[in-house]
Amino acid sequence: MSTERENALTMANEEDCRAALGRIAERLADVDADHLAEHVVERTISCWVPDLGLAFRTRLHAGGLDGFVPDDDPRSAQVRLTVDSDDLVALARDELNPAKAWATGRLKIEASIFDLLRLRRLL
């Protein structure tokens, strides 16, 4: 994974996105187990990265997140995220606030209102 971008026009690649998703999963693993169990209902989650044409899937449960795997049908997940590769990397590095990314359209979240409220409590 590249650590510094030599050119601002270089976009993140699949390896960068996988690493970013791994960092996000690690952060969720650091959440207090009781807090996580209180707010988590088992859900499938997809992350569509349209600028790379990639999608990943995981399962959220009281124990955290399963590993992310490639997904051929991201629309079938219960919670669907859409984010460009550079924004995904920025979110994982805490360089982009999830609420701000969502408010500005850089992060799209499709889920039930109840799932959105639960996710908000975890972020």
- The model's confidence at residue 121, banded by pLDDT at 50, 70 and 90, is low
List pLDDT tens digits, range 53-104. Answer: 999 999 998 888 899 999 999 999 999 999 999 999 999 999 999 989 999 9
With CA atoms as reference, report the closest residue to 18 among 42, 41, 52.
52
pLDDT value of position 3: 45
Pick from 2-6, 19-23, 104-108, 112-116: least confident: 2-6
User: What residue ranges in the chain does DSSP mark as E strands?
Assistant: 43-49, 54-61, 64-65, 69-70, 79-83, 107-110
pTM over 0.75: yes
List pLDDT tens digits, range 5-32. Answer: 444 567 899 999 999 999 999 988 888 8
- The model's confidence at residue 33, banded by pLDDT at 50, 70 and 90, is confident
pLDDT value of position 2: 46
